[in-house]
Structure 1
Amino acid sequence: MAGGNGKRFVKMSENNKKKNVVDVVKSYIKETQAEAKKVSWPSRQYVFTATLIIIVMVLVLSFVLSFLDYGLTNAILFLTRIRL
């Protein structure tokens, strides 16, 4: 049984080697375009709103992290200056 499967695998790989690279690329592009047509794309307004929300959240979080960093740095510096 294993010998039969091995022979089929060899035949398939030989057929794949015979294909032209240009044909493979053309086939890939056609299949990709066909799949892209099947996709349910979001509306322009939804993408704009989602992008705006993400940018605002990134800015808010960057400010929060900056203030936390500043505060913790000063707290550590204050604590290390105290000599017991």
Structure 2
Amino acid sequence: MDKIRAFVEEQFLVEFDETLTEESDLFKEGVMDSFGYVQLCRFLEKEYGITFTEEEMTGNVLVSLTQIRETVLRKVAALPAAS
């Protein structure tokens, strides 16, 4: 999950600290816009072999680092086991 934090920090040129916490809404903080959101989703899909439905993409499920991690963990756990 450190890859996700590193991606967000590198892609959006931010650093998580006391001001920008892992629970901060990245849209409300001005860190991420819709283009960045799509980039984030594509990174997560490629990196973790998961997919996002249109409902998930538009349902504000990936607005904080904490929510992103929880969603990825849930989706990875639901993947069929590799043979």
TM-score by structure 2 length?
0.27
By relative contact order (CA 8 Å, sep 6+), the higher-ranking structure is 2
Return the index of the structure with the highest Cα Rg: 1
Q: Counting helix residues as a fraction of each chain, which structure ranks higher?
A: 1
